[in-house]
């Protein structure tokens, strides 16, 4: 959409290897910052219209927790419906959708050849966690998390909120229940994978979800799992004519697992960079233009959220952070910006965390077996 917004005469093709839309494992949370990007593209009402906004966020680790109203409400929209609405908006803007499979990337003199008859002066890879285009660009593989999602009638006590309960064994790991506002909720469990060949089973993840948020699994349906490529403080923009966006670029928040904001933001930037490069008669400059657009928006944030995620591997630090957020709306708001959008570790939040740490350390020692 961004490319067509910049230059309506461009030929934009969306290629998907299977029928579209299809269900995907996702927490379905749409941060208001993602809606801002959609509004900039002129399709926010088309994408989120008709869905209830969710005002509250609850975070809990054992007996420590915080329950507050977010600065702006979020939406929870099933991923299959979200993708359908996004592609419909793109088609209305002039894009074409075809079922095609990318099998390879071959560099021609003035284009990229993706196999199956697909060529392009600039290619934007938004092909997810197992991105063929990322591998072809020879970028290192990101750290992975594993998540399992289902749908359940929303428990009465969990209505009107996005609820996250952190695990007891290792961090980052948490269960969630995100009310959709239509009588149903997205529920699930996710954790950082300790190694490439270590993956919890579906049964184990469902058991952990039930342990952390009782009453969320008995009536659940449509279980679906997926790996998440976590950001490691940097990102993988692509090279030359080939750009990577969203999960394909290794852009999933390592603290929260949020990825939709990153995806729509980088998708918009990639479209604009592609259009600008073609208009300048230099499609090979697309990746450089793309990085220049995204770095001011995400560069500092990605480094800060990587630090925060590493700190939160400690239950003690996580408990101190929750205590600081419970004691201050300002700290809570700062953490929401860091976890759902492109915020940074603010001096105020850092100071509040430091004040809470001694108490959290003492409590941890008292409960140590």
Render pLDDT for 97-107 as a digit per residue (tens, 0 to 9). Answer: 999 888 888 98
Instruction: Tell me the two tokens of residue 194.
Output: 């300790």
Q: Quote the tokens at residue 286.
A: 């697309």
Judge whether 266 and 213 are in contact, CB under 8 Å.
no
**H or E stretch covering 323:** helix 315-327
Give the C-alpha separation, 57 to 54, whole Å. Answer: 8
- In the predicted structure, residue 162 carries a pLDDT above the cut 70: yes
pLDDT at res. 369: 56
Q: Is the pLDDT of residue 308 over 70?
A: yes
List Cβ neighbours of 257 (8 Å cut-off, separation of 6 or more). 27, 145, 147, 190, 228
286-303 mean pLDDT: 97
Domain 2-304 has CATH 3.30.70.420: no
**Which positions ≥6 away from 113 have C-beta within 8 Å?**
104, 105, 106, 107, 119
State the pairing for strand pair 123-125/242-244. parallel
pLDDT category at 367 given cuts 50, 70, 90 is low
Res 249 pLDDT > 60? yes
List the structure tokens of 174.
């948490």
Task: Look at residue 189 and give its three-state secondary structure.
Answer: strand
- Domain range annotation of the chain: 2-304, 305-367
- For 39-97, what is each residue's pLDDT tens digit? 999 999 999 999 999 999 999 999 889 999 999 999 999 999 999 999 999 999 999 99
Q: Is 0.85 surpassed by the pTM of this model?
A: yes
């Amino acid at each position: 959409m961004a490319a067509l917004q910049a230059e309506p005469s461009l030929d934009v093709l969306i290629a998907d290897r299977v029928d579209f839309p299809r269900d995907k494992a996702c927490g379905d949370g749409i941060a208001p910052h993602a809606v801002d990007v959609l509004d900039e593209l002129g399709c926010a009402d088309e994408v989120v219209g008709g869905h209830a906004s969710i005002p509250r966020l609850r975070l809990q680790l054992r007996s420590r927790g915080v329950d507050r109203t977010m600065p702006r409400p979020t939406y929870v929209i099933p991923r299959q419906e979200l993708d359908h609405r996004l592609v419909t908006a793109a088609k209305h803007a002039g894009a074409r959708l075809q079922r095609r499979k990318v099998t390879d990337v071959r560099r021609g003199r003035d284009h990229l050849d993706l196999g199956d008859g697909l060529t392009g002066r600039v290619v934007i890879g938004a092909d997810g966690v197992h991105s063929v285009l990322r591998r072809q660009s020879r970028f290192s593989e990101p750290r992975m998390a594993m998540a399992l999602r289902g749908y359940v009638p929303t428990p009465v006590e969990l209505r009107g909120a996005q609820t996250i309960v952190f695990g007891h064994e290792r961090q980052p790991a948490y269960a969630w229940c995100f009310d959709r506002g239509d009588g149903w909720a997205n529920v699930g469990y996710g954790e950082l994978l300790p190694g490439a060949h270590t993956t919890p089973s579906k049964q184990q993840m469902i058991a952990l979800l039930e342990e952390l948020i009782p009453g969320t699994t008995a009536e659940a349906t449509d279980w679906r799992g997926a790996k998440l490529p976590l950001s490691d403080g940097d990102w993988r923009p692509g090279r030359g004519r080939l750009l990577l966006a969203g999960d394909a670029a290794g852009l999933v928040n390592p603290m929260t697992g949020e990825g939709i904001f990153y995806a729509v933001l980088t998708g918009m930037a990639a479209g604009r960079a592609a259009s600008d490069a073609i208009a300048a008669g230099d499609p090979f400059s697309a990746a450089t233009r793309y990085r220049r657009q995204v770095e001011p928006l995400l560069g500092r944030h990605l480094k800060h959220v990587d630090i925060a995620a590493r700190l939160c591997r400690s239950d003690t630090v996580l408990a101190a952070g929750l205590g600081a957020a419970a004691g201050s709306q300002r700290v809570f708001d700062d953490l929401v910006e860091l976890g759902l959008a492109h915020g940074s570790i603010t001096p105020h939040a850092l100071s509040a965390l430091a004040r809470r740490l001694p108490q959290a350390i003492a409590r941890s020692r008292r409960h140590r077996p």
